[in-house]
Amino acid sequence: MVRWLLLGCGLGACHLAETPERALPDPVDDTPRITIAACVLTPELVKVTPNGDFSFTNQDDVDHTITGADGQVWVIAKAHRASSIIGITKVGSWPFSVSDCPKGGTVVVQ
């Protein structure tokens, strides 16, 4: 029985342990992405059209909550993950903060 298990794993490429750190996937589209790495935002300012999509990619070891200046939570960027895609309908300049980080950024909708 042990031989069959080992043989099956050898042929089937079993994964008995996961690597704790995974690389984030590269964007496959042209959706603007704000990267959070060691609480540094790149870029700090993103320009989109009304309802234009954008997202956050969190390279930090902790989750970050992205909050608009009005206190509304935009999205939670999980550690080592890309956030869901979001959009803003109203034209204007929309500052946001990132939890546990000293600086936020701005999304300009034009």
Q: Delineate the domains of the chain, giving CATH numbers in brackets.
A: 31-109 (2.60.40.420)
**Element containing residue 4 per DSSP (H, E):** helix 2-12
Residue pLDDT, tens place only, 7-66: 444 444 443 334 344 445 555 568 899 999 999 999 999 999 999 999 999 999 999 999
Cα–Cα distance list, 96 to 12, 44, 52 (Å): 47, 10, 17
Which among 40, 31, 44, 30 is positioned nearest to 84, based on CA atoms?
A: 31
pLDDT at 1: 44
pTM score above 0.85: no
Which among 53, 83, 50 is positioned nearest to 67, based on CA atoms?
A: 83
pLDDT at 28: 54
Of the CA atoms within 13 Å of residue 61, those in its CB half-sphere come to 2
